[in-house]
Structure 1
Amino acid sequence: MSMGDCKSMRPEMEGEDDLIAAARNIARALGSKKNLTDGEREILANLGAQLSTMISLSEKKGEKIGDIEDRLNSIQERIMSWEADQSMIWDSGPNESLEYVKAVEEARRFVERLEGLCLNKDDQEYEVLQKAHDVLQTAMARLEEEFKYMLVQNWQPFEPEHMSFRSSEEDIVDGSSIISFGDDSFEDSLHRDSVSRASEEVVIDLVHPDVVPELRGIANLMFNSKYDQECIQAYTSIRRDALDECLSILEVQKLSIEDVLKMEWGCLNSKIRRWVWVMKIFVRVYLPSERWLGDQIFGELGPVYLDCFVEASKPSMLQLMNFGEAMSIGPHQPEKLFRILDMYEVLADLLPDIDGLYMDEAGSSVRIECHEVLMRLGDSVKATFSEFKNAIASNTSTNPVAGGGIHPLTRYVMNYLRTLTDYGETLNVLLDDCDEGDSISQSPDTSPTTEEENKSTDTLGRISPMLRHYRSLVSTLECNLDDKSKLYKDASLQHIFLMNNLHYMAQKVKGDELRLLFGDGWIRKCNGKFQQHAMNYQRASWSSILSLLKEEGIQNPGSNSISKTLLKERLRSFYLAFEEIYKSQTTWLIPDLQLREDVQISTSLNVVQAYRTFVGRHSNDISDKLIKYTADDLQNYLLDLFEGSSKSLQNSSRR
């Protein structure tokens, strides 16, 4: 600053006294009103500051040191008078706050004028300047206190129950766990939480709008007085606590990564679902509102409001991201895949909003952290999907399923895949760079065979990543089931077991979205497989019995005449064999009613027809005493097979 700049220069203004008097009258008139509008409050605050400026500018040039000290003492006395009062200035009414702002503004301009003199320590005015700094510092400390008090006292409670983003109460508070891998009750327990795709922001008043003009006036005064850092720190401290309180209201706990990793799945499952819900509210409602509040208070002071927003919201965002990171590094258990996908999808959906909120350099650390957590969640999805396939392949059983019914693993896997189709778009993106064996996609047994199935291919004819992995999983399941079938000693029961499970797989694919993914060609192939096992069952169970009803071996030696003794023995052997099959296969189970009827009818056509033909052909050689069961009896008895309950012909009431 040049010597000329250091001189105190005050322009002479014509009619200054009249103008000041008029301004004072306006201020008194506004101050006397009981209910001021927001606009009137702001005018009153600005008028006080301008009035103080006008008074300062009207002072005569070249005041004596004694006059300067007298003016400072007057300002100090006015400022210190409020220090003795324990009540808050802005609670005392607009007149009190206006007078205080005027006094502080005078102190600020007094300091500014003395600093403009470029004083040395030897100058008489230097000691006055130091005293003026002390007075201004006292005033700034009081303004900071008032500023924080107004922010806290006028905080408006956040009421998330009124937000449209919230799903049903059961979805939020339900803490039931997803059933562990292979559990038979998985089918009834599994459902996907809905993830709202609403992208519009909702802005609410986090601080009562009536006090925003006063807060803005205090901020401007502190910035003009070069106490900007104190103002920023006070604001960010209060708003950081408010955001922390918001998460507390939303029932988000502060958890370390270690806490999350040690948590029981039932509790963790509930917290994940809440996290998904909270993220949508926090990013699309609370953060835009927080940024808007900062803009209202600091917007006139440049981009500083963005820094305030970042500093206030960063800890809460990192707390939420910390939970996401903990989930991404936890054990890759198949049961957790759906919840991790929910987290991935909601974060991916919110990233454009987050990038927009933290678009400046100050917010880069938050942006980067959110993108990194999303990437880690995606990696966790891929690792968990791979672990799911490994779990299918390594699933072992020491005991076979009773009656050759549907294995829990089959139910689990097919319902798992069915639910995963809801995440098809996400899975196609995440699994695109995962090699799952090109041989599977090129195998003639699994590649698309119809125009409809080609919907699952891209423009280059490549199978979608999701379908490629699904087929690999199903192929792994079939291999595992084939191994499990060997636990049955009876070859016929092995075929019943495989028939049941392949039929269940085909029905699951046929019934919903899986059909669009696998296609009708895959269903036909699967149908062919379980039908082949049904035929193999017929041969393994009934071929030896039906051979007893053939003509060979019942003639007398050396002639073509029928031996009644051999005929009697044949019938007796047939009845014994039939009774043995009846006793064992009534305990076997075909859960699907239509499939059971189909197998029963097919068996009846073969057995009953052969029996009726055999008995009819030899009716002249067989007495009624030898006929233990009629053809109708056999047909009725065959209807008892595969119902899973033990029966015996000796106890049967049918005849």
Structure 2
Amino acid sequence: MGDIDKIVPEMGEEENLIAAAEHLVRALGSNKNLTSKMKRVLADLGSQLSTMATISDEGVSEIEEQLNIVQEKILSREADQSMIWDSGPDEASEYLNAADEARKLIERLDGLCLEKNGHEKELLRKAHDVLQMAMNRLEEEFRHILVQNRQPFEPEHMSFRSSEEDIMDESSIISYGDDSISIDDSFQRDSVSRTSEEFIVHLVRADVIPDLRCIANLMFLSNYDHECCQAYVMARKDALDECLFILEMEKLSIEDVLKMEWGHLNSKIKRWVWALKIFVRSYLASEKFLSEQIFGEFEPVNVSCFVEASKASMLQLLNFGEAVSIGPHKPEKLFCILDMYEVLADLLSDIDALYADKIGSSVRIEYYEVLRRVGDSVRGTFMEFENAIASYTASNPFAGGGVLHLTKYVMNYLRTLTDYTETLNLLLRNHDKEDPSSAPANMNSAMEEESLSGSLTSNFSPMAIRYRSVTSILESKLHEKSKMYKDVSLQHIFLMNNIHYMAQKVKNSELRLIFGDNWIRKHNWKFQQHAMDYERATWSSILPLLKDDGNSGSSSVSKLKERFKNFYLAFEEVYKTQSAWVIPNVHLREDLRISISLKVIQAYRTFESRHKNQISDKHIKYSADDLQSYLLDLFEGSSKSLHNPHRR
């Protein structure tokens, strides 16, 4: 170490200083008493000094000469307004090499460790200007390639047909106070496939991806990554807007949605359900793939570019879902809102994958929030359906005692909802746990009734409980409605028809799995009981006229004539009245006619056969076969009279 102390003060020139430093490094490196930390520091010093010596040898003049050549190449393209990549691969490669050379020259100048005064400082500024000029041009070329080579998005694997004329008029149940309104006997559910697989398409021509990647790589290496990403995001935002246009997803404010007529909104919702799945599963998946192809080497930039490009379009779609969810809870909207909820829930895993981590958290959080709001809307709309039935009123009795429009509406409504069993059970279960007070007021009475009949088990699903509550409300309304008929017989016909309709709807559909066989047996018994009550109310006062009182003689003949006369008058009145009544179900109508025939016609046939020799034929107005034939006119919904009866 003493020799080095003597050498250093004598070295005044730069070369001697470098030589002394090298000697110092070698001397210290050979000293075995040095710690590893000292050795590492000295090794770094030796490496740096060696680099400085190499750069110094090359000289600033050589860098300046190369920079002038690069500048000339860059400027030559500025005068030409045509796009470089349109001129062919050779032109593009030459320009990329020139831009890359400018970047490398800046690195070399920065590595000289010069004071950057005077000429050197000006040279460095010039190099940065040349690089910036090249980067501006590359940004423009990058955007041009993205736009000009965009592949048209044509979801030919999907189809959609919707017009407002095709939409069923699912009028609000509130309007059914007027029983003259007709109702479609079934609801139609749009199919929302849950098995659609991710479908990747090339949004930009595959042959230009390497060019885009090269430009991006150079811009990132040159610290122009922000400009590159900005160009990409702007180009892809436009492409995403075009995709929504192709899918006919116009930009609507919440106010626009809330002001829409139901028929128009229904059409929009159906298209939204279809478009959202295509947009997420196909387009966004392809969009993220494109971002990975171009920026895959620069994570997480590829993710942030995808998120920034797609965020506005995704929020536009979610904004529509939010608008629908905060609209009025009308029963006719429930099926469309359920479709919205199911497609949102179905795409959750896709959204989690597309917008992972903090970068995509804003979109992901908004998506979950819209899903929650749509779920709340489903629950609120179902509760409104229950409330609408409970508040149903009608000022006039239903003509003929047939099946009430309300009964058809409710049972078909419930039948269609079975397509959403899993979703409804989930939403209703969660809601009942959070807010037990939200259960309908009549649910307890309905469940107590089932418990007494021995059918209540702890395995009832939330949907089954709600369905039983709805039918309990409906039956209560039917009994109220039946009181509007003055004729007790017609009250029973009305209740028989409606309860039979309910039982058949449950028995012959998926509702059977929800209500159970015990519910069906119970309601079969109910409508049969009303059939028997009808027979008693109608014929119990007529059949005694066909019974013998045990008397004989002339007075008995007179009484026989009176009995036949009174029976005919009573039968004709029943015929006139009840031929206008209606039993829509053919089998139910025939069963009731057979039951009447077994009681009335058999009694008349026996009575007539026993006394036909006691009175003349002119007093026997109808034969048993005549009456049997007339029974076929009952419950056909067309009033008839027997003004000019005659023996057939």
TM range (shorter): 0.7 to 0.9
Q: Is structure 2 residue 165 aligned with structure 1 residue 179?
A: no
Counterparts of 2:405 and 2:114, CA distance in 1 = 90
Question: Residue 618 of structure 1 is aligned with which of 611, 616, 622?
Answer: 611
> Distance between the aligned counterparts of 1:220 and 1:448, measured in 2?
76
- AA at the equivalent of 1:369: E
What is the aligned counterpart of 2:546 among 527, 545, 549? 549
Q: For residues 126-275 of structure 1, what are the structure 2 equivalents within 5 Å?
A: 126-161=121-156, 163=157, 166=158, 169-170=160-161, 175-182=166-173, 186-188=183-185, 190-275=187-272
Q: Show the counterpart of 2:474.
A: 477
Q: Which residue of 2 aligns with 1:529?
A: 526
Measured at CA, do residues 545 and 374 of structure 1 come closer, stay the same or move farther in structure 2, by a change above 3 Å? same
Map residues 180-579 of structure 1 onto 2, 5 A cutoff. 180-182=171-173, 186-188=183-185, 190-432=187-429, 433-434=431-432, 435=436, 436=439, 439-440=444-445, 442-445=447-450, 449=454, 461-552=458-549, 562-579=555-572
SS in 2 for 1:650: coil
2:574 aligns to what? 581
| SS at 2:540 equivalent | helix
Report SS of the residue matched to 2:635.
Answer: coil
- Rounded to whole Å, the distance in 1 between the matches of 2:112 and 2:226 is 26
Structure 1 counterpart of 2:109, from 114, 133, 155: 114
| Pair 615,294 (structure 1): closer, same or farther in 2 beyond 3 Å | same
Gaps of 5+ in 2: 1-13, 15-51
Q: Distance in 2 between matches of 1:60 and 1:187?
A: 88
Task: Work out whether residues 65 and 124 of structure 1, in 8 Å CA contact, stay in contact via their aligned partners in 2.
Answer: no
Secondary structure, aligned partner of 2:347:
helix
Q: What does the per-residue CA deviation read over 1:399-437, in whole Å, with 9 as the maximum and x for residues that have no partner?
A: 222211110110111111111111111111111132436
Task: Give 2:641's match in structure 1, choosing from 626, 638, 648.
Answer: 648
Change (3 A) 1:485 1:58: farther
Q: Which of 49, 58, 67 is equivalent to 1:72? A: 67
Q: Corresponding residue for 1:103?
A: 98
2:636 aligned partner, one-letter code: E
Could you tell me which residue of structure 1 aligns to residue 587 of structure 2? 594
Partner of 1:9: none
CA shift at 1:645, angstroms?
Answer: 1.0
1:429–1:467: structure 2 CA closer, same or farther, 3 Å change rule?
Answer: same
Q: Is the 8 A contact 2:63 2:105 kept in 1?
A: no
| CA deviation after TM superposition for structure 1 residue 170, in Å | 3.8
What is the percentage of aligned positions where both structures have the same residue?
64
- Once the 2 structures are TM-superposed, how far is the Cα of residue 206 of structure 1 from its aligned partner? 0.8
1:136 Cα deviation from its structure 2 partner: 1.4
> Deviation at 1:637?
0.8
Structure 1 letter corresponding to 2:595: S
Q: Are the structure 2 counterparts of residues 441 and 605 from structure 1 closer, same or farther at C-alpha, using a change threshold of 3 Å?
A: closer
CA gap of 1:653–1:562, structure 2 versus 1, over 3 A, is: closer
Report if aligned partners of 1:440, 1:468 keep a CA contact under 8 Å in 2. Answer: no
- Corresponding residue of 1:93: 88
Distance 1:322 1:418, change over 3 A: same
| 1:180 partner amino acid | S
1:361 and 1:525 map into 2 onto residues whose CA distance is 57
Cα displacement string for residues 70-128 of structure 1 (whole angstroms, at most 9, x for unaligned residues): 44333222101101101100111111111111111121122222233456574332122
Task: After TM superposition, give the deviation of residue 173 of structure 1 in Å.
Answer: 8.4
Conserved in 2, the CA contact under 8 Å of 1:69 and 1:128? yes
Contact 1:446-1:471 at 8 Å conserved across structures: no
Q: Is the 8 A contact 1:410 1:477 kept in 2?
A: yes
Alpha-carbon displacement from aligned partner over 1:295-332 (angstroms, at most 9, x marks no partner): 11111122210001111111111111111111111111
1:80/1:516 CA distance change after superposition, 3 Å: same
| CA deviation vs aligned residue, 1:152-171 (integer Å, no higher than 9, x gap) | 0110111101x2xx35x446
CA distance in 2, matches of 1:578, 1:592: 24
Partners of 1:421 and 1:145 in 2: CA distance: 56
Alpha-carbon shift at residue 188 of structure 1 (Å)? 4.3
How far apart, CA to CA, are the structure 2 residues paired with 1:561 and 1:626?
15
CA displacement, residues 461-495 of structure 1 (integer Å, 9 cap, x when unaligned): 33111100000000000001111112212111111
Contact 2:55–2:112 (8 Å) recurs in 1: no
| CA contact 1:150–1:211 (8 Å) conserved in 2 | yes
CA contact (8 A) 2:621 2:645 kept: no
State the superposition RMSD in angstroms: 2.5
Gaps of 5+ in 1: 5-56
Q: Does the Cα contact within 8 Å between 2:164 and 2:263 map onto a contact in 1? A: no
1:196-226 CA-partner distances (Å, limit 9, x unpaired):
1225322111111111111011001111111
* Kept after mapping to 2: 8 A contact 1:548/1:574: yes
Range 492-501 or range 540-549, more displaced:
540-549
Q: Which residue identity does 1:113 align to in structure 2?
A: R
Structure 1 residue 441 displacement after superposition: 6.3
CA drift of 1:564 comes to 3.1
Larger deviation: 614-623 or 636-645?
Answer: 614-623
* 1:487-535 superposed Cα distances (whole Å, 9 cap, x missing partner): 2121111111110000111111110111121111111110111111111
Distance 1:581 1:330, change over 3 A: same
Q: Does the CA contact (< 8 Å) of 1:588 and 1:645 recur in 2?
A: yes
Tell me by how many angstroms 1:561 deviates: 7.2
- 1-structure distance, mates of 2:134, 2:53: 24
Cα distance change, pair 177–326 in 1 and its aligned pair in 2 (3 A): farther
Give secondary structure in 1 for the equivalent of 2:82. coil
> For the Cα contact (< 8 Å) 1:299–1:305, is it kept in 2?
yes
* Structure 1 residues 654 and 637: CA distance shift in structure 2, 3 A: farther
Question: What is the Cα deviation at residue 386 of structure 1?
Answer: 0.5
